[in-house]
Chain A
Amino acid sequence: MKIIVPVKRVVDYNVKVRVRSDNSGVDIANVKMSMNPFDEIAIEEAVRLKEKGVATEIIAVSCGVTLCQETLRTAMAIGADRAILVESNEDLQPLAVAKLLKALVDKEQPGLIILGKQAIDDDCNQTGQMLAALADLPQVAFASKVEITDGKASVTREVDGGLETLLVTLPAVITADLRLNEPRYATLPNIMKAKKKPLEIVKPEDLGVDVSPRLKTIKVSEPPKRSAGIMVPDVATLVAKLKNEAKVI
């Protein structure tokens, strides 16, 4: 069974982004970029399934600019066998990414597609569910445990109020939540090996997909700032302030 893992190159989670003064977007020139943390979890899960003998091949896919190759190399250093870059300078929105992934799913016929539940830049939380819809596959979003037996996946997912377990027939789409696993670090020998693994580059046109954006960003602005509060010396003062000043208790 093949597994496809889409990985996105995003601003590193430690970076606090700044809004450009002309409100055209956030300034991401010269900031540290990394693999979306949820996608590291997705790759790790695929690698574990391969180590258990459930999966035979792991294909990492990224859609975006040339530099996404770095992200794909990282995925291969963690354990993906090969990679595909769908190269485009367009503002790729979730529907477009899902269509590109659908084309690759048609071509590669994976048994499982594991995505991150959300990318931490746009926080859309859409791509996996959209891919499942386009490919007409079962979906399990926000997975915290995955078990594969007899062509089916038993997946526990995080829902409001607790956990639920679904049984889906493969092929299926799964999106990884934070507690699915703890991704390993790529070791130096594996980083070196990853440089030699195959990385194919295709264009959206090759896949016959129209990636034009459906959403226009009119402006990006700063959120309202919270004015700094005060420090209180002790619990008694805190209680008095909450009662008399803030009037919330």
Chain B
Amino acid sequence: MTVLVIAEHDNVSLKSATLNVVMAATQTSKFTDGLVHVLIMGHKAESVVLAAAQITGVAKVIYVDGTQFAHGLAENVAAQVLTIAGQYSHVMFPSTASGKNVAPRLAAKLDVAQISDVTKIESSDTFERPIYAGNAIATVQSTDAIKVLTVRTTGFDAAIATGGAATVDSVAAVAGSRNTTFVGSEIARNDRPELTAAKVIVSGGRALGSNEKFMEIMTPLADKLAAAMGASRAAVDAGYAPNDWQVGQTGKIVAPQLYIAVGISGAIQHLAGMKDSKVIVAINMDADAPIFSVADYGLVADLFVAVPELVSAL
């Protein structure tokens, strides 16, 4: 049978996480019929459909249009996937806030287990996933007929966004739930790369001391390196940085080419989110800070001096 990928998008553009999931799906399809389909549920999301149809490795794009999908409500999205899930051996979501919201709901409706945060496909039913904040890697085998997975995007390269020529099918939409209404959102407008897709991330901790200092010190560094900005939980809890910047076990999992940790001690929960980065730089005043145990390059220094100096040296 075929592998189904649930696309992540904002009705305008396809989120890059989808490309990593398509790669995981392509690897899985080697054990099945070799086909990957992408399902797009949205409202006036034609541009997303066009983008998805061009991804290398995608055979078919299925599009469902309706206002009930404009905000990705879990109730509606899960109900829609349910109408076609039976035709697939695997249903794959990115391990993002929306994927994690919907996948378990779908799995429970299908009476199957859901496998979270898959980082490696071993066969059609066997997968690797990190547990205990990445301090152990479990290899799990599913006995269910349909496998519902969330895929950790850092575990898979992105599929090539162009070169494909998928067919496009439109299907009828299920009715929306009457018990859940979208009220509004505050989505920060941000010209920086997405945290989970960025090549370079500069991340700040509690040591920054205030929102003003955080922005004053970290923004020029991010600008110089065209980097995304991250933060520790302590910095987010204290209001120095927005909540969706949190890197770690319970925030975002990232693996950029370069991760610069500034004034972050390196708690297990933080390391869980960034220790797979290719190159890690740590700037911390305390030579014994645990962050240095994972850093390729460590600098013991006062960040308020070292970071501006770094900005002018770049």
Q: Which residues of A contact B (CB under 8 A)?
A: 11, 13, 16-17, 19, 26, 38, 93-95, 98, 117-118, 120-134, 137-142, 144, 154, 158-169, 172, 178-179, 214-223, 226, 228-232, 234-236, 238-239, 241-242, 246, 248-249
Q: Is the CB of B107 within 8 A of A95?
A: yes
A94-B113, A161-B188, A230-B296 known; A138 and B177 CB under 8 Å? yes
Q: List 16 A-B contacts (CB under 8 A).
A: A19-B135, A94-B114, A95-B112, A118-B250, A123-B130, A129-B102, A138-B179, A141-B101, A159-B98, A159-B187, A178-B250, A223-B130, A229-B280, A231-B299, A234-B299, A242-B281
Q: Is the CB of A235 within 8 A of B309?
A: yes
Q: Which residues of B contact A236 (CB under 8 A)?
A: 313
Q: Is the CB of A178 within 8 A of B112?
A: no
A248 and B260 alpha carbons, distance in the complex (Å): 12
A126-B104, A235-B299 known; A217 and B136 CB under 8 Å? no
In terms of DSSP, what is the predominant structure of the interface of chain B?
Answer: mixed
Q: Which residues of A contact B279 (CB under 8 A)?
A: 242, 246, 248
Q: 5 smallest A-B Cβ distances: which pairs? A: A129-B104, A229-B296, A133-B108, A130-B108, A164-B185
**Contacting A216 at CB < 8 Å: which of B143, B249, B280?**
B143
**Contacting B108 at CB < 8 Å: which of A11, A95, A118?**
A95
Q: Does any Cβ of A come within 8 Å of B257's Cβ?
A: yes
Q: Does any Cβ of A come within 8 Å of B207's Cβ?
A: no
Closest to B116 in A: A124
A13-B269, A232-B297 known; A142 and B97 CB under 8 Å? yes
Closest to A123 in B: B131
A236 and B309 alpha carbons, distance in the complex (Å): 9
Q: Is the CB of A16 within 8 A of B268?
A: yes
The number of A-B residue pairs with CB atoms under 8 Å apart is 250
Q: Which residues of A contact B314 (CB under 8 A)?
A: 239, 249
Closest to B178 in A: A169
Q: Which residues of B contact A162 (CB under 8 A)?
A: 185-188, 242-244
Q: Is the CB of B298 within 8 A of A232?
A: yes
Q: Is the CB of B269 within 8 A of A125?
A: no
Q: Which residues of B contact A11 (CB under 8 A)?
A: 132
Q: Does any Cβ of A come within 8 Å of B140's Cβ?
A: yes
Q: Is the CB of B136 within 8 A of A164?
A: no
Q: Is the CB of B131 within 8 A of A121?
A: yes
Q: Which residues of B contact A124 (CB under 8 A)?
A: 114, 116
Q: Is the CB of B185 within 8 A of A178?
A: no
Q: Is the CB of A228 within 8 A of B249?
A: no
A239 and B283 alpha carbons, distance in the complex (Å): 13
Closest to B95 in A: A125
Q: Which residues of A contact B97 (CB under 8 A)?
A: 142, 158-160
**Contacting B243 at CB < 8 Å: which of A163, A246, A249?**
A163
Q: Is the CB of A126 within 8 A of B116?
A: yes
A144 and B90 alpha carbons, distance in the complex (Å): 32
Q: Which residues of B contact A98 (CB under 8 A)?
A: 108
Interface string of B292-307 (1 = CB under 8 A from A): 1111111111000010
Q: Does any Cβ of A come within 8 Å of B75's Cβ?
A: yes
Q: Is the CB of A130 within 8 A of B114?
A: yes
Q: Is the CB of B74 within 8 A of A246?
A: no
Q: Is the CB of B244 within 8 A of A93?
A: no
**Nearest CB of B to A25, in Å:** 8
Q: Which residues of B contact A214 (CB under 8 A)?
A: 112-113, 142-144
**Nearest CB of A to B219, in Å:** 17
Interface string of B107-120 (1 = CB under 8 A from A): 11101111111000
Q: Which residues of B contact A130 (CB under 8 A)?
A: 104-105, 107-108, 114
Q: Which residues of A contact B114 (CB under 8 A)?
A: 94-95, 124, 126, 130
Q: Is the CB of B300 within 8 A of A221?
A: no
Q: Does any Cβ of A come within 8 Å of B200's Cβ?
A: yes
A236 and B137 alpha carbons, distance in the complex (Å): 38
